[in-house]
Amino acid sequence: MMYNDVVIVGGGISGLSLAYYCVKAGMKTSIIEKNDTVGGSFCSPSYTSGGNEFWFEMGAHTCYSSYRNLLDIVEKCGIMDTIIPRAKVPFTLLIDDNIKSIVSQLNLFELLVSAPNLFKLKKTGLSVKSYYSKIVGDGNYRDVISHFFNAVPSQPTDDFPADMMFKSREKRKDVLKNYTFKHGLQGVARTIAATKGINVFNGQAVSSVEFANGEYVLRTTGGGEYSAKTLVLATPSSVASKLLRDVNPDIANHLGQLKAAQVDSVGVMVKKSDISLKPVAAMISPNDVFYSVVSRDTVPDEHFRGFAFHFKTGLDDATKRKRITDVLGVSMSKIVHSESRLNTVPSLNLGHHQWLEKTDTLLKEKKNLLLTGNFFGGMAIEDCVSRSLSEFNRMKMPA
């Protein structure tokens, strides 16, 4: 049995950032992660072909100058010099397998008539559909803009709270407006995980949690046992709910009310000389079998191009392969390397603010149980790090 001050389940950015705050406060901290690598949705596999290494993003891909809490950790980890700009290539629509600009598909008259609502309408209490259809017009929302919103969490977003989709935050002026990192976002996850004092146990799924004699005891599918005074759950809500079933049924039930969607992502790497598609940041194809194709063209490479197809769930491999080759205009033999990945993203709705208030009430007297993840203030990376920071502060606050 390994004893800790804090044990964290889940090695995505939520768990990693919380671990960082804990070790810097001198606490003995372990992360238990189901996958063989840390990062969760920070997933940047790399592959070497013909002596050339290439990485591409299977999950998160863009950070912003407003990600202050993330940047604070990046700075303290000494990797500000790994921040790199994203090339200015367009976000596009795919209509009948032809790339179109967003503007070309908008009804400009409708947009002009609706746009003044931007200065009148508040997002609070409105869904994405009710807010944005007034800003861009019903037709523009239905035919164009809604597909961009759906591409963000790879699911329908009509009912998401408008104020949780795109937040305005104070920007840092000394950092690029949008950027990525030299080795992809997973490089950041690996650096945080390597912070002195963080113990990481990969390839172990936590299967049960008990609470006895003032300590949590966690067991993993691989037979590992860990104990700690403080437990942090940094997993999808359904996993956190299951793990808390015996130790705190009220919080488990509360977490169990949330819904989430799976993103079935397939990433492919192709030789640059084999593909004629013009450079894009992403392609969104309304009513297709995928929500988006995110490209590595934002960090151009001399030899390769990479594309992550974020598919709807339940498709067979043949359907996915056919769509990938049709969209890219290459045969399977030209795919140098491919990767698959399932990520979980929350499905938020208008009642989420009330859910959050109840969460705070349930956690009030529970300083030894911290909950973080992408289903609190929003699913952006900065929302996750901010949640971890506020949970850390709650733990440290004098009683």
Ligand X SMILES: Cc1cc2nc3c(=O)[nH]c(=O)nc-3n(C[C@H](O)[C@H](O)[C@H](O)COP(=O)(O)OP(=O)(O)OC[C@H]3O[C@@H](n4cnc5c(N)ncnc54)[C@H](O)[C@@H]3O)c2cc1C
* Tokens standing for residue 391: 């949970």
Nearest CB to ligand X, comparing residues 105 and 178: 178
Please report, as residue ranges, which positions from 203 to 232 form the binding site for ligand X (by CB under 6 A). Answer: 205-206
Does 202 help bind ligand X (rule: CB under 6 A)?
no
CA angle 234/211/220 to nearest 5° reads: 55
* Tokens standing for residue 265: 């992502």
Select the residue interacting with ligand X from 140, 344, 347, 386 (CB under 6 A): 344
Tell me which stretch binds ligand X (CB under 6 A): 45-53, 72-80, 191-199, 343-351: 343-351
- At what angle are helices 13-24 and 381-396 packed, to 10 degrees? 40
Does 30 help bind ligand X (rule: CB under 6 A)?
no
CA dihedral 158, 160, 162, 165 (to 10 degrees): -110
Does 13 help bind ligand X (rule: CB under 6 A)?
yes
Binding mask 272-291 for ligand X (x = CB under 6 A): --------------------
Nearest CB to ligand X, comparing residues 31 and 140: 31
User: Helix, strand or coil for residue 182?
Assistant: coil
Cβ atoms of 91 and 148 within 8 Å: the answer is yes
Select the residue interacting with ligand X from 293, 384, 385, 395 (CB under 6 A): 384
Exposure class string for 187-218: b at 16+ Cβ within 10 A, else e: bbbbbbbebeebbbbeebebeebeeeeebbbb
Rounded to whole angstroms, the Cα distance separating 28 from 226 reads 12
* Tokens standing for residue 342: 């399932």
Rounded to whole angstroms, the Cα distance separating 137 from 106 reads 10
Binding mask 65-94 for ligand X (x = CB under 6 A): ------------------------------
Binding mask 236-255 for ligand X (x = CB under 6 A): ---x----------------
Does 14 help bind ligand X (rule: CB under 6 A)?
yes
State the nearest-atom distance from the C-beta of 162 to ligand X, in Å.
Answer: 17
Does 33 help bind ligand X (rule: CB under 6 A)?
yes
State the nearest-atom distance from the C-beta of 192 to ligand X, in Å.
Answer: 11
* Tokens standing for residue 322: 């056919």
Nearest CB to ligand X, comparing residues 27 and 379: 379
Chain centroid, CA 255 distance in Å: 19
State the nearest-atom distance from the C-beta of 286 to ligand X, in Å.
Answer: 18
Does 352 help bind ligand X (rule: CB under 6 A)?
no
Tell me which stretch binds ligand X (CB under 6 A): 48-56, 222-230, 299-307, 376-384: 376-384
Torsion angles phi and psi, residue 3, rounded to 5:
-95, 140
Does 60 help bind ligand X (rule: CB under 6 A)?
yes
Exposure class string for 356-369: b at 16+ Cβ within 10 A, else e: eeebeebbeeeebb
Select the residue interacting with ligand X from 6, 7, 8, 10 (CB under 6 A): 10
Does 349 help bind ligand X (rule: CB under 6 A)?
no
* Token pair 């990969």: residue: 202
Chain centroid, CA 21 distance in Å: 20
Does 198 help bind ligand X (rule: CB under 6 A)?
no
Does 379 help bind ligand X (rule: CB under 6 A)?
yes
Does 296 help bind ligand X (rule: CB under 6 A)?
no
* Token pair 């809604």: residue: 146
Positions touching ligand X (CB under 6 A) are 9-15, 32-35, 40-42, 59-62, 205-206, 234-235, 239, 263, 265, 310, 343-345, 373-374, 379-381, 384
